[in-house]
Amino acid sequence: MTKNYIAGEWLSATEASANINPSNTNDVIGEYARASAAEAERAIAAAYDAFPAWSRSSIQQRHDILKAVGDEILARKEELGRLLSREEGKTLPEGIGEVTRAGQIFLFFSGECLRMAGEKVPSVRPFIDVEITREPVGVVGLITPWNFPIAIPAWKIAPALAYGNTVVFKPADLVPGSAHALSEIIIRAGVPAGVFNLVMGRGSVVGEAMLNSPKVSAISFTGSVPTGRKVAQTCITADPMKKVQLEMGGKNPMVVLDDADLKVAVDCAVNSAFFSTGQRCTASSRLIVTDGIHDRFVAAMQERMQELVIDDALKAGTQIGPVVDQSQLDQDLKYIRIGQEEGAKLVAGGELLQRDAPGFYLAPALFTEVSNQMRVAREEIFGPVATVTRAKDYDEALELANDTPFGLSSGICTTSLKYASHFKRNAEAGMVMVNLPTAGVDYHVPFGGRKGSSYGPREQGRYAQEFYTTVKTAYTFDGNGPYVPKTKGSE
């Protein structure tokens, strides 16, 4: 059994879960420990005890550890990418790409350790200095989803440690392999006992223990909207209240205008909707296409979709791997049925595929004649299922794009500077893409959304410090003159 790492020790558990390859369900990657609530409590207590020393550790020590982690991840990207693709089902180039991203994130935050800065400003009162500094928050609980098994853990763990917090990390149940491999690297890099804890297990057990513990000061969660809501409610009603950051679902629109370059638009749409098997929170599942290009666009999409290679994630040449597991496949098929029942027209894909080994293979599906009120256009499916909705012009396309409870990413394909600029300003989303897929972001800039997609400060880049630090304002009377307790306007 592959073990949890708690309080500086590798510990097995009484329960384990099998990690199954979705490209070949006969392939069991391993048995991974599932922690009990008591084990989660132990990890939280260890992180709590380790916090005072780690919060005062030198920025050089933190830099060196994070740099060693980043370097090892990058040196082993092929092997780690293979493990990731084997357990999650994204293609090998996507798996290696994600691992590379994780390494880059650790290197970025190793640099951020050395760039910690505060402010010193004059007081409104004489002979007093004011210093504004950032301090770590405490024990942070990190809860991650299955679809980015190493990049999302990296973009939470790296800033948490960089800014001096201690960590309890709970990966998704479906993808413990990458989480475990990452944890081994972090531990090998020399992180002191208790500072970093890996607690694999169920959300309802390990996750809940983190939410309910008064020793955890902050929770960073990425996952679905229903779980996210629950996480926020528990954190906000806890005593003491916890800081909380949520990155959740999406129903990201991609607008294609009459003046778009058709090839660019089809490339962007196929990539956004179907790569990584449509299992990206930034995937575009709503293609909003103006009248003048609609029929040409749909025909070009159908043609392109016939060429897509859907097969074993590890096979050379595969462009789209399997769906992650049976329950996600059932959800995809359910929505394909719902779309047909709602009167949308299935113009490509949607059928199960047989490959050499038993796996969760689904041909990417495209619906046309979709109104924005249909469930397939409103609810997150999280699979390779996209809809095309007609718009008469740019204004209507923008209105449709924004008519959604979500607000993560939003894209437009156009050759018009005027429409591109207007869309960037008016799209109700945290990230906007022009002539680019809605998914695929840089690691040194903020990531996150608005409306139903996100809650709390942004992740990644320098903006990550908003969540992983708390601000302190310190006043010092220097004694070089009379103490003036109050001036007009001061509290």
247 catalytic per annotation: yes
Is 378 among the residues that bind ligand NAD (CB under 6 A)? no
Cα 70–Cα 74–Cα 77 angle in degrees, nearest 5: 135
How far apart are the C-alpha atoms of 208 and 231, rounded to whole Å?
A: 8
Q: Is there a contact between 407 and 448 (Cβ–Cβ < 8 Å)?
A: no
User: Residue 301 Cβ, how far from ligand NAD at the closest point, in Å?
Assistant: 23
Specify whether 380 is catalytic.
no
Q: Which two tokens stand for residue 306?
A: 């016939």
Residue range at the interface with ligand NAD (CB under 6 A); choices 40-48, 86-94, 139-147, 305-313: 139-147
Rule CB under 6 A: say whether 172 interacts with ligand NAD.
yes
Sheet holding 454-455, edge to edge: 9-11, 4-6, 196-198, 166-170, 139-143, 218-222, 243-247, 454-455
Cis bond leading into 405, ω under 30°? Answer: no
Q: Which of 280, 162, 181, 163 is nearest to 222 (CA)?
A: 280
Catalytic residue of the set 98, 112, 247, 379: 247
Query: Binding string to ligand NAD for residues 255 to 294, with x set by CB under 6 A, is what?
Result: --------------------------x-------------
Which residue number, 408 or 433, has a Cβ lying nearer to ligand NAD?
408
Among 204, 233, 415, 476, binds ligand NAD (CB under 6 A): 204
Q: Confirm if 22 and 89 have CB atoms less than 8 A apart.
A: yes
Q: Would the CA dihedral through 20, 25, 26, 27 be positive or negative?
A: negative
Q: Which stretch binds ligand NAD (CB under 6 A): 59-67, 247-255, 266-274, 415-423?
A: 247-255
Q: Say whether residue 96 binds ligand NAD (CB under 6 A).
A: no
Residue 141 Cβ vs ligand NAD, minimum distance, rounded to whole Å: 9
288 vs 398: CA distance, rounded Å: 9
Q: Which stretch binds ligand NAD (CB under 6 A): 72-80, 155-163, 225-233, 315-323?
A: 225-233
Q: Produce one character per residue of 479-490: b if its CB has 16 or more CB atoms within 10 Å, e if not.
A: eeeeeeeeeeee
Of 444-483, binders to ligand NAD (CB under 6 A) are 453
Q: Is 224 in the site for ligand NAD (CB under 6 A)?
A: yes
Calpha distance 138→383 (Å, rounded) = 37
Closer to ligand NAD by Cβ: residue 169 or 419: 169
Q: Choose the binding region for ligand NAD from 73-81, 100-108, 169-177, 471-479 (rule: CB under 6 A).
A: 169-177
- Between CA 385 and CA 186 the distance in angstroms is 37
Stretch touching ligand NAD by CB under 6 A, among 143-151, 159-167, 438-446, 473-481: 143-151
Which one among 247, 311, 312, 379 touches ligand NAD, defined by CB under 6 A? 247
The DSSP-derived string for 364-390 is -EEEES--TTSHHHHS---SSEEEEEE
Q: Least distance in Å: CB of 143 to ligand NAD?
A: 5
380 in contact with ligand NAD (CB under 6 A): yes
By CB under 6 A, tell whether 408 contacts ligand NAD. Answer: yes
Cα–Cα distance list, 92 to 110, 202, 217, 437 (Å): 27, 27, 37, 20
Binding positions for ligand NAD, rule: CB under 6 A: 143-148, 170, 172-173, 203-204, 207-208, 211, 222-224, 227, 230-231, 247-250, 281, 380, 382, 408, 453
The residues assigned a catalytic role are 247, 281
